[in-house]
Chain A
Amino acid sequence: MSDIALTPQELEASTIRERPENYLNEKLSLASWLLTTDHKRIALLYFASITVFFFIGGAAAALMRFNLLTPDGAIVSPETYNRLFTMHGVVMVWFFLVPAVPVTLGNFMIPLMIGARDLAFPKINLMSWYLFMIGGVISTWALFMGGLDTGWTFYTPLSSAYARGYVVPVAVGIFISGFSSIATGLNFMVTIHRLRAPGMTWYRMPVFLWSLYATSVIYVLATPVLAMTLLLLAFETIFRIGVFDPTLGGDPVLFQHLFWFYSHPAVYIMILPGMGVVSEIIPVFSRRQIFGYKFVVWCSVSIAVISFFVWGHHMFVAGTSLYSAIIFSLLSFLVSIPSAIKVFNWIGTLHKGFIRFDAPMIYALGFVGLFTMGGLTGLFLASLASDVALHDTYFVVAHFHYIMVGGMVSAFFGGLHYWWPKITGRMYPEMWGRVAAAMIFFGFNLTFFPQFILGFLGMPRRYSVYPPEFQVLNVLSSAGATILAVAYLMPLFYLGWSLFWGQRAPANPWGATGLEWQTQSPPRTENFTSTPVVTEAPYNYPPPEAIQREKVESGEHV
């Protein structure tokens, strides 16, 4: 990208100067943070909030795994256990995974990557953070006050007629935070359409932006359906009568249809941004142009579209008609095609690359492996016959955790490490980053691989007790969860440490292409001194021969 924001001299100066003016030190008052419309500061507000939610959800998971150490439940009653897994699901899905990458890394990077000064609607961006916080606080307050025992899926009539606890407050919190999702998606889509720098054509956009665009499509078109569904649920819970009420001849399965119309595409809200992050990291650390750029970006879009056609596979044993089950099963297989193409493209990018195992790359490679496993086991669940056997067992739990935790959380941490120098202006300690990444990979597999076997052997999910013969596998899983917990806590400490004592980061520590690396670290409030003009495709890395020659000349060990 030729005509960049800073000349090389300026870039050099920005790395040497003690503290160039940037978005972090321009204003320092509390109000300048809480009333900011700067997308970068709002991203940091989101970072702080979702970190808190992540550890709340994580604590609930830790208690569950602890309870499952013994067959008869080690610490909590079955009732409390029900509330714990509900809390874990609600917090992790709506207050961590759905927002995670888009509102933090996406919010920060979209304007930088397209060469704009901010998102299209900065005030709506700030409003969406407040909506998110209001929704999050209401829901978590209700969950701490005693919570509810329906699971995160709120199936009627359990939730509307039989559940004990705070169904309505939790639903209201999710309803409010849903509008935060809608506002964010709307902002992203309009920004990508309207605010691209001169020369930034669609095919010159980084893959990350395409996947965020695809995610935003789901945000804006699926979330409103969830909002209406929760309204109907709240209506029915409050008035004890409603459209899903089976005593009136209402159809509780209709609730499931509406719920999964949102919640299945929401699964892709949770994975598409992760795929985008990994598509950014892999080319940088293998010094290769991404393999099959157009395939990767159009696969993101087609995953987003197809994701709306497959929700019925959650309801194969809910008494839905056989015809619809067969059609939904076939449609579910469709979504594996673009997902698999992406995996091949990542591997194709690695092929003959000059691979460096920095922490972001370890996370990204972990993502590819874990996502592949999660995806392939998904085929068993998309298949009508095998799903009937595996439905509501730990096989399902393991499958979606491979996608969401192994996939998305790995990608979130990978992206966090990758862009950490840009966001904070500091380098994280590389050694610690690698250790944490490896521990997450190991701990994750130890936690969730035994669950595949447990599910295959028939252990149902959402039970606080189990037959004694399942104890060995459950103890293994809990042991892995301990490692995972430690590994998740580690970045909190070393990244926090680096904020104050980390080495100062240059503008482009990874030698990456992409507009965000062309401006100083951390960027100034207006991102670029002048609007950049883009003249080249993304990922324009030098050909392998040139890197080889350069490394030989500089005497570096290849």
Chain B
Amino acid sequence: MSEAHVHFQYDSAAHQEATALDGMWLFLATEVLFFGALFLTWLVSRHFHPQGFAEAARHTELLIGSINTAVLVTSSFVFSCGLGFIERGDARSMIRACFVTALLGLAFITLKGVEWTKDFSDHLVPGPGFAIAGADSGGAQIFFCFYFVATVLHAVHMLVGLGLIAWLVQRARRGAFSAASHAPVEVVGLYWSFVDVVWLVLYPLIYLVGRPG
């Protein structure tokens, strides 16, 4: 089926696809506020514990975080190319782009796993036996609470994105998408780029802002 099934409340497939894209944008708006609550937590906690946050940020794995940033930006770029391919009717190139995107996504999560393991062995998990002692310990522990909640939630979003990409490949192989009809590819692309955007904000909050001085 190359033409998407049109539900009876829509005038046309184009009407249905435009509506789906609006729906995705609105969903992303809700995601902004979801992570926004976390950003406010960072902002307020850092205000109360500037030294603790700076000290904790210096304990993060800058190298892994930076590689991951480059990986994620590149994956968004590749997926955007995939969308460009299907807009020209080239489903095979699109599937290849999906594979590369998924590989980059998996690389991100693997690196994240390595980083978490290191955090554990470096005693950066908040609680008894925390690596940073002294007056800054409390603030640093709050930082790492923020860090774990934020990175785990981001990784969960990545996993959902990987699932969506797998679903796209599955459908694309059955010839579901064409130059005229490929709204799901665009919807997933919006989601994937948005997950990228979240990381682009989290990255400086976690790894960079505490480093100067």
Chains A and B touch (C-beta atoms under 8 A apart): yes
List the interface of chain A (C-beta within 8 A of B).
111, 116-122, 182, 186-187, 189-190, 193-195, 220-225, 227-229, 231-232, 235-236, 239-243, 245, 247-251, 254, 257-258, 261, 526
Q: Which of A221, A229, A251, A258 contacts B30 (CB 8 A)?
A: A221
Interface residue stretch chosen among B18-26, B72-80, B191-199: B18-26
Q: Knowing A224-B31, A249-B138 are in contact, say whether A235-B145 is a contact too (CB < 8 A).
A: yes
Which of B32, B35, B40 lies at the interface centre, i.e. has the most chain A CB atoms within 10 A of its CB?
A: B40
Q: A195-B9, A220-B29 are in contact. List 14 more A-B contacts (CB 8 A).
A: A190-B23, A193-B22, A194-B19, A224-B32, A228-B34, A228-B35, A228-B37, A243-B45, A243-B146, A248-B138, A249-B48, A249-B49, A250-B138, A254-B45
* Residue among A194, A195, A251, A257 having the largest count of chain B Cβ atoms under 10 Å: A194
Pair A224/B34 contact, Cβ less than 8 Å: yes
Count how many pairs of residues, one from A and one from B, have CB atoms less than 8 Å apart in the complex.
114
Check B36 against A251 for contact (C-beta < 8 Å): no
Residues B145 and A121 in contact, CB atoms below 8 Å apart = no
Residues of B within 8 Å of A249, CB to CB, are 48-49, 52, 138-139, 142
Q: Which residues of A contact B139 (CB under 8 A)?
A: 248-249
The listed residue (A240, A241, A257) touching B40 by CB distance below 8 A is A257
Chain B, 10-69, CB within 8 A of any chain A CB: 10, 15, 18-19, 22-23, 26-27, 29-38, 40-41, 44-45, 48-49, 52
User: Known: A195-B9, A248-B142. Contact between A182 and B45, CB under 8 A?
Assistant: no
Q: Taking beta carbons and an 8 Å cutoff, which residues of B are in contact with A?
A: 7-10, 15, 18-19, 22-23, 26-27, 29-38, 40-41, 44-45, 48-49, 52, 126-127, 137-139, 141-142, 145-146, 149, 153
Nearest CB to that of A235 among chain B residues? Answer: B149
Chain A residues near B27: list those with CB within 8 A: 182, 186
A261 neighbours in B (Cβ, 8 Å): 37
A120 to B9, CA, bound (A): 7
Docked pose: A241 CA to B145 CA in angstroms: 8
Chain B residues closer than 8 Å to A220, beta-carbon distance = 26, 29-30
Residue ID in chain B nearest A230 by CB atoms: B37
| Interface SS, A side | helix
Chain B positions within 8 Å of A526 at CB level: 8
Once bound together, how far apart are the Cα atoms of A510 and B72, in whole Å?
A: 59
Is the CB–CB distance between B41 and A254 below 8 Å? yes
Contact of A120 among B23, B40, B141, B142 (CB under 8 A): B23
**Distance A250 CA – B141 CA, assembled complex (angstroms):** 10
Choose one: B31, B45, B141; the contact of A251 (CB below 8 Å).
B45
Residue of A236, A242, A250 with highest tally of chain B CB at under 10 A: A250
Closest A-chain residue to B149, C-beta based?
A235
Taking the closest CB of chain B, its distance from the CB of A443, in whole angstroms, is 39
B18 touching A250 by the CB < 8 A rule? Answer: no
B30 contacts across to A, CB distance below 8 A: 182, 186, 220-221, 223-224
The winner among A222, A245, A249, A258 for most chain B CB atoms within 10 A is A249
- In contact, B127 and A243 (Cβ under 8 angstroms): no
Q: Say whether A250 contacts B142, CB under 8 Å.
A: yes
A-B contact pairs, 9 of them (CB 8 A): A118-B8, A122-B9, A186-B23, A195-B10, A227-B34, A228-B35, A248-B137, A251-B44, A258-B40
Which of B9, B37, B52, B153 meets A111, CB within 8 Å? B9
Complex alpha-carbon distance, A189 and B10, angstroms: 16
Instruction: Please report the C-alpha to C-alpha distance between residue A95 and residue B40 in the assembled complex, in whole angstroms.
Output: 28
The answer on a CB contact under 8 Å between A241 and B141 is yes
**7 cross-chain pairs, A with B, having the tightest CB-CB distances, nearest first:** A224-B34, A228-B37, A248-B138, A249-B138, A117-B9, A224-B33, A118-B9
Q: Once the chains are docked, how many angstroms separate the CA of A222 from the CA of B30?
A: 8
- Assembly CA distance A227 to B34 (angstroms): 7
A243-B41 in contact given A190-B22, A248-B142 (Cβ < 8 Å): yes
